[in-house]
Amino acid sequence: MTKIRKIQLNEREMPTQWYNIQADMPNPLLPLLHPATKEPVGPSDLEPLFPLALIKQEMSTERYIDIPDQVLDLYRLYRPTPLHRAYNLEKMLDSPAKIYYKNESVSPPGSHKPNTAIPQAYYNYKQGVKKMTTETGAGQWGSALSFATNFFGIECKVFMVKVSFHQKPYRKTMMNLWNGQVIASPSEQTNAGRMFLAEDPDCPGSLGVAISEAIEVAAMNEDTKYSLGSVLNHVLLHQTIIGLESLKQLEMTGDFPDLVIGPFGGGSNFGGLAFPFLRYNFSDGKQTRCIAVESASCPKLTRGKFEYDFGDTAGMTPLIPMYTLGHKFIPPSIHAGGLRYHGAGAIVSQLLKDKLVEARSVEQADSFRAAMMFSRAEGMIPAPETAHAIAQVITEALTAREEGVAKTILFNFSGHGLLDMGAYEEYLEKDK
């Protein structure tokens, strides 16, 4: 029998609504709090930063939200994305597990991030916004937002974490190609940046610091809005296109996952893949285990505290109820820049607190070992972030072998690592 390695949907089969898990969570989210008054924030508190449509989505409890036609049209540049069966990896591990991965690396910027960058740019455009600011770690989010804003004639200013700015110079070029402007953070352009530089001129930067800079620029300029690539509810909402497509694709195979696994930075690719499956746990008695995989050097889910904390280092955002290592935490300069964030988004935090999802942490060396194995088995070279999920997939597939059970595992291949050769080179050198 012919092995079907890729399960494809055609463009007409792409879902036309996002799934909002807020409609089905057993315990609703705690509110965001105003940093000064400690009162719940209302829509008007967020208006300087975000367009109204996104604020509405942030707080919505409607189960399905229509994807605008213009967004669907741009999604079709790279969606639907293929679902692959990792036959070679299964064989290499000699595991009875069936391993599937959703390939989000086929988008032009190379990760899942345009799934939210496109609608965010669209809703800003609809409200007449001319300029947007944002932060980026490894550069994937900055690339995605530059790619998206360019279609709508919006200027995009990206504060890029300084250590990544130097580690991944081609990401800057990519953003420049799509008309994005890139500034190494901390920078001299903002009060927050100057403050961090005064404390430590060699500060490697962090997502928390870059967010402070980007928010400051948006808050001080009437014509500028801010955009975040993860953590917030509307970002996770947009990413559910990943899980909704996967559901349709798996249906074509007759399999349903026992395990859904994604790397975890702020929660967007994990939530995007897992939430449409969790819905069946809530409403259909299914018992799919959903596992978020974080970096052991930034372990907010496995070692952080659930409490109200700021989303940025300078303390400018509302207080978010989340698992956090503290907003002053500056993570070590690991290669998986997208996992270097001190907190977890509110939805995944609440689900973890309620024991409805699970979390694991993976050491950098183990993630690279897994990435190398995957590259040799399946050919695809994962982003260092994605490699964390792959390490956990391998652990689970080996457990399945020990237990002799043919589990179905689905994971998110959140991005490729073709612009991360510096990191791979270093790993191979050390491994000699």
Ligand X SMILES: *Cc1c(COP(=O)(O)O)cnc(C)c1O
263 touches ligand X (CB under 6 A)? yes
Q: How far, in Å, CA of 296 to CA of 340, rounded?
A: 10
Q: How far is the CB of 324 from ligand X (least distance, A)?
A: 14
* Near ligand X in 23-62, by CB under 6 A: none
Interaction between residue 267 and ligand X (CB under 6 A): yes
Give whichever of 95 and 136 is closer to ligand X, judged by the CB atom: 136
- 308 to 367, contacts with ligand X by CB under 6 A? 338-339
Beta bridge partners of residue 158, listed in sequence order: 134, 182
d(CA 313, CA 261): 29
Name the segment binding ligand X (CB under 6 A); options: 35-43, 194-202, 379-387, 393-401.
Answer: 379-387
Shortest Cβ 38–ligand X spacing (Å): 27
Distance CA 57, CA 12 (A): 25
Residues 6+ apart with CB under 8 A from 262: 269, 270, 271, 272, 273, 274, 291, 292, 293, 389, 411, 412, 414
Instruction: Pick the piece of the chain touching ligand X (CB under 6 A) from 66-74, 90-98, 121-129, 265-273.
Output: 265-273
Where would I find the H helices in 285-407?
Answer: 300-303, 346-353, 364-378, 384-403
Residues in contact with ligand X, total (CB under 6 A)? 20
268 binds ligand X (CB under 6 A): yes
Asked if residue 414 binds ligand X (CB under 6 A), the reply is: yes
Q: Which of these segments, 63-71, 211-219, 268-276, 398-406, binds ligand X (CB under 6 A)? A: 268-276
What are phi and psi for residue 251, nearest 5 degrees? Answer: -55, -35
Q: Is 135 in the site for ligand X (CB under 6 A)?
A: no
> Among 164, 386, 392, 408, which residue sits at the site for ligand X (rule: CB under 6 A)?
386
Tokens, residue 351 = 């689900």
Residue selected from 385, 391, 393, 424 as contacting ligand X according to rule CB under 6 A: 385
Verify binding: residue 139, ligand X, rule CB under 6 A: no
Choice between 95 and 230, CB closer to ligand X: 230
Does residue number 233 form part of the binding site for ligand X (CB under 6 A)? no
Asked if 185 and 203 touch (Cβ cutoff 8 Å), the reply is no
Under rule CB under 6 A, residue 142 binds ligand X = no
Report the nearest approach of ligand X to the CB of residue 229 (Å). 6
Q: Considering all CA atoms of the chain, what is the largest pairwise distance in Å, rounded to the nearest integer?
A: 66
Is 185 a binding residue for ligand X by CB under 6 A? The answer is: no
Residue for token digits 């949907």?
A: 9
Give how far Cα 365 sits from Cα of 158, 226, 336, 340, 406, Å. Answer: 30, 35, 11, 16, 28
Q: Is 415 in the site for ligand X (CB under 6 A)?
A: yes
Distance of closest approach, residue 247 Cβ to ligand X, in angstroms? 19
354 by DSSP, 3-state: which? Answer: coil
Our finding on whether 408 is near ligand X (CB under 6 A) is no
416 DSSP assignment = B
Helix (H), strand (E) at residue 423: helix 421-431
Smallest separation (angstroms) from ligand X to the CB of 143:
9
Cβ neighbors of 156 (< 8 A, separation 6 or more) are 131, 132, 133, 134, 145, 146, 149, 150, 175, 178, 179, 180, 181
User: Considering the rule CB under 6 A, would residue 204 count as an interface residue with ligand X?
Assistant: no
Residue 135 is given by DSSP the state: E
Residue 230 contacts ligand X per CB under 6 A: yes
Closest distance to ligand X from the beta carbon of 39 (Å): 28
Q: Kindly state the smallest distance separating residue 155's Cβ from ligand X, in Å.
A: 22
Measured from each CB, the residue nearest to ligand X is 415
Cα–Cα distance between 234 and 314 in angstroms, integer? 23
Please name which of 408, 402, 410 lies closest in space to residue 94, comparing C-alpha atoms. 402
Q: Is 73 exposed, middle or buried (0-12, 13-18, 19+ CB in 10 A)?
A: exposed
Shortest Å distance, C-beta 105 to ligand X: 8
Nearer Cβ to ligand X (95/367): 367
Q: Compute CA 40 distance to the chain's CA centroid, rounded to the nearest angstrom.
A: 26
- The region of 42-50, 120-128, 206-214, 257-265 touching ligand X under the rule CB under 6 A is 257-265
Binding positions for ligand X, rule: CB under 6 A: 111, 113, 140-141, 230, 263-270, 338-339, 383, 385-386, 414-415
